[in-house]
Amino acid sequence: MPSISSKEKPMDSMYYGDTLIVDLEAGRTGQVSFDEVDEAGPGLPAGLALYEKYKEFDPLIFGSGLFTGTPVPGACLGFVLGKSPLTGEPAVAPLNLFAGAEMKLSGFSMVVVKGASAKPVYLWLHDGVPDIEDASALAGKDTWDTTDGIRREMGEGLIQVICIGPAGEAGSDSAALSINYWGSGDTAALGAVMGRKNLKAVALRGLGMLDADEPEEFYDGALELLASAKVDTGFKSMCSALGAPDLDAWLSPIAHRRRACFACPATCATFVKYNEAPSVMESTDVEEPGMLIANAAAALWLMQGGWDVEAACRAMEAMAREGLDMVRGARELSETPLTDAGKITAAVKALEGSTAARWTVAEPAAPGLFGPWVPPLGGYESWLEANRIGYSLGICPTFLLLCGTDTSRLLELCVPAAGLETGQDEIAGMYG
Amino acid sequence: MKGRTRRAASHPALAGYAAAFKSVPSVAVYCGAGASHSWIWFTDLLERLGIFDVRFVSHGEILHGGALDASDFLLVGGGDTYEMAGSLGEEGAAIIEEFVRDGGLYHGSCAGAYLVLDGVDLEPFTPFRLITGDMLNVMHEPPPARCLEHKYLAPYGRDWVFHPVYGEVELRPGPAADGLSVVNAARPLGAPLFGGPVLRIPDPQCRLADYAGVTDRAAFLWPRVDAERLITGRQAVAVRSLGEGTVVASGPHLEHPLFPLANALLAAVFARHHQKRVAAGPLPRATGETRARIEPDRVAPIAGYEVALLEIKRQVSNARIVGSGLEKMPVTWKIGVKVWEPEKIRMFLEYAWDRLPYLQDYAARGLPIPIRKLEALALGYGEVTGLAKTLKLAVESGEDSQAEAQTLLTGLKELTASFLSLYFRLRLEEQWRTAARYRGTDAHG
């Protein structure tokens, strides 16, 4: 258990309010003060404590780490935790891009979704208000239309939508939850759990601000860490780390821009254009010029399978739209390179029936709690530590591994952030 | 409450003034025709001064509702001066003048200042003549603006009122500030100028503050050196006694919540007037206590409050999320002579959002709130959310969104006034309840 410094209760800062309990069966929400969350430790350890408490209800836990949503470099990470249909064990999916930060700002420290709804619904979490909304009109829609539909209905394009596509609705073992349009690092088929719950999406938006115990010290510390991060990283480093330095060159003919997640100096994602020239910078009439490749491992499988880059990206778009696990899907598709659009669509659709649970990267850990989303940089122990610290503090583990962050300095920031004194061993201890 | 606002709210400059208003003045804040969004800034200042006997009044309530009969202060912010003057008319001008002569305080910022200058002598402004002075920012053919073109000009007969600088300016106290403890002649104080007048006040004894210069936190619609030359040394704030009362006309928004020293200057003027009135005998106007009394039929079960307050929170949140979406779109709307940006939508909403926790806490303590009022607010904010979404769709599709914007902004202004009226009423009730408790303690030793 982490020790407590000046505050009566740690983590009063950096988090909003109580834990939200969403009972989909009853169509009700309630908020509880859950002391075990504080005792367990920040981020995922708190989520695991909630999972244990509610596991008879097949819960999905949505949460964020201590620093998620703050200026600490890499502080983009939230998580979804649930029982993986693939293993029957608890597993986590990352909420990166801007979803983790918005999770934090939506006004809830942790959200437990239990039971299943009789009809399709989505959760609209905004500024501390939990609403269960009818999703009948979204049923059967792919992740792109679902994201657009919710954003249109709520009137704001920055709403972060964690959703499922047809694969998740069908409860497919190949289903993954998607962060907006772009898929996710869900390799545990938690998208299928959402489908079983008739939970089409969780939409997040908050306009609040986070507080720190010692705001100036915390902010200065965050800036120091940013200055010390190796920022000449990003997609190229990611490719090298995956053992595929040529992946960057393969994507480059259709690469339009690099993108980073919230508060991260590493531009790991690449937006590719294949429906118009990648050199076009202005907005045009082309409605969908391309997609964001936020999952380098999926692209790697297709490249190694001999796919043409444009066809591969179209296949990844199709998988993202269907709400499929792109890494496992890409591994299956890699065996038969395709170029015909109709055949690509059919092959992707066929993945929904796949029950193959092929773990590709980070074999030593998979299919454990963390899964293979984070590339195995620097050996298993480093990988495991980065996951543990990352999911506790809300820092992307890939950033920690890629950018050489000073972990002890990062942990020291817990004090000005939230009056929490903790260390590497204590964090490890939080995972049992 | 955002960080900078919170820091400004706790600034020590205002600390001493709350005591000056122990005998609580009754304040009317004008939010009627022509008022833009800036009247809401007065609420921050009044709260900081512990003045909770506050009502938000329209031109109709001034003309036909006797709104000023029960008021000690009338505060008028910025907006469309034509619309204000036209709606209040000669009758309104006469009511306001009588209000001041009988001992009231009139404070006008920006449009509220233009309104009462006797040198602004053109229909429909002619009947409003509370301050002897003129505006200098008027020209027949102003040079083109270097930026913020939509903020630059307003028609004035055959001429144009123009604004050479937009943002923070520096003020230096004038002779009329003598004796005010807030004044530090060695250090100019900052205040935001958002289209208010550059004044020419002939009587030095009426000069409360002059423009001392501009700051880097301003946009320059003229070359900086020319803008600085035009305003520096000219009058920014004028004050005069009229009958038993006081008139204040300010180009800059001294009431803006991010400028605590400007707030303190205004508070000092309010306090000087109020203390003079209190010293002259009991205030002739209705006291807050009589208006604050709770009506028994307003009591509802706490669960009823919770439901209504959650619905208000839900809808204010929804509306401000749509508002934040609109802020990213390159659109403005011209209503009368005033240009409105999408940011104004959220400005109104934030005032309700920041004050909702007080209402929730009030209800949680078992104190009575008029439940029907809460229900009406919930309904109103639901309508605002719907209107905001309709407006956003119109903007996104490239349609003319003028009508939708006008409906939304007008509705939002009225709803904000309604929300703040309730909020101040509850604060006042609590203030009186606390005061009564202390009196009881004293009585029983």
DSSP string, B130-181: -B--EES-EESSPPPPSS-HHHHEEEETTEEEE-SEEEEEEEEE-GGGTT-T
> Alpha-carbon distance B233 to B212, whole Å?
6
| CB contact B243 to A (< 8 Å) | no
Least Cα separation, residue B332 to chain A (angstroms): 18
Chain A residues close to B325, C-beta within 8 Å: 155-158
Reduced to 3 states (helix: H, G, I; strand: E, B; else coil), residue B218 is strand
**B357 to chain A: closest CA residue:** A128
The answer to whether residue B50 is domain-embedded is: yes
The last residue of a domain, from among B265, B288, B311: B288
B23, part of any domain: yes
Q: Is B293 among the domain residues?
A: no
* Residue A357, pLDDT above cutoff 90: no
DSSP string, B35-96: B-SGGGHHHHHHHHTT---EEEE-HHHHHHS-TTTT-SEEEE-SB-HHHHHHHHHHHHHHHH
State the pTM of this model.
Answer: 0.91
Tell me: do B308 and B265 sit in the same domain. no
To the nearest whole angstrom, how far is the Cα of B34 from the nearest Cα of chain A?
Answer: 29
Return the percentage of chain A with pLDDT > 70, whole number.
92
Inter-chain touch B321–A131, beta carbons under 8 Å: no
Residues B310 and B194 in one domain: no
**Do both B226 and B318 map to the same domain?**
no
Contacts with A126 from chain B: Cβ below 8 Å: 317-318, 321
- Select the residue of A128, A156, A215 nearest B324 (Cβ to Cβ): A156
Report chain A's C-alpha Rg in angstroms: 20
Is residue B314 included in any domain, yes or no?
Answer: yes
Identify all chain B residues contacting A154, using CB atoms and an 8 Å cutoff: 318, 321-322
Rounded Cα–Cα distance for residues B241 and B248 (Å):
9
Task: Give chain B's domain count.
Answer: 2
Based on the domain organization, do B76 and B140 belong to the same domain? yes
Note the pLDDT tens digit of each residue in B307-357: 999 999 999 999 999 999 999 999 999 988 889 999 999 999 999 999 999
User: Who contacts B441 (Cβ-Cβ below 8 Å, separation ≥6)?
Assistant: none
B321·A157 Cβ contact <8 A: no
Mean pLDDT of A353-368: 53
Q: Starting at the edge strand that comes first in sequence, how are the strands of the sheet with A121-126 ordered?
A: A129-134, A121-126, A199-205, A160-163, A178-179
- For residue A159, the chain B residues in CB contact (below 8 A) are 321
Residues B265 and B344 in one domain: no
Is the pLDDT at A291 greater than 90, yes or no?
yes
The answer to whether A239 faces chain B, any CB pair under 8 Å, is: no
Residue B352: how many other CB atoms lie within 10 Å: 27
In the listed set B288, B321, B341, which residue is the last one of a domain according to the structure? B288
Q: Which residues of B touch A131 (CB under 8 A)?
A: 314
In a domain, B267, yes or no: yes
pLDDT at B444 (0 to 100): 42
Range of the domain at B64: 3-288
Q: What is the DSSP letter of B117?
A: B
How close, in Å, is residue B387 to chain A by CA atoms?
11
CB A162 within 8 Å of CB A202: yes
| Whether B240 and B387 share a structural domain | no
- Give chain A positions within 8 Å (CB) of B322: 154-156
Please state, rounded to an integer, the average pLDDT across all residues of chain A.
Answer: 90
**pLDDT tens for each residue of A172-223:** 999 999 999 999 999 999 999 999 999 999 999 999 888 899 999 999 999 9
Q: Hey, what amino acid is at B68?
A: L
B127 inside domain: yes
Q: Which residue of A has its CA nearest to B316?
A: A127
Q: Give me the residue spans of the domains in chain A.
A: 1-229+357-432, 235-351
Considering the domain boundaries, does residue B47 fall inside one? yes
Position B296 in a domain: no
Which residues in chain B land under pLDDT 70? 1-6, 183-186, 282-302, 439-445
Q: Give the pLDDT score at A356.
A: 52
| CATH code, domain with B166 | 3.40.50.880
Please give, rounded to a whole number of angstroms, the shortest distance from the CA of B394 to a CA of chain A: 11
Q: Which option is the CATH number for A1-229+357-432: 3.40.50.2000, 3.40.50.620, 3.60.9.10, 3.40.50.300?
A: 3.60.9.10
Q: What is the pLDDT of residue A14?
A: 76
Q: Which of B3, B310, B321 lies at the smallest CB-CB distance from A205?
A: B321
Flag if A207 and B321 touch (Cβ within 8 Å).
yes
Q: Is the pLDDT assigned to residue A367 strictly greater than 70? A: no
Q: Give the pLDDT confidence score for residue A260 in this predicted structure.
A: 93
Cα B156 from Cα B134, distance rounded (Å): 13
End position of a domain, from candidates B225, B253, B288: B288
A residues 34-63 near B, CB within 8 Å? none
CB contact under 8 A, A157 and B2: no
Do B312 and B220 sit in the same domain of this protein?
no
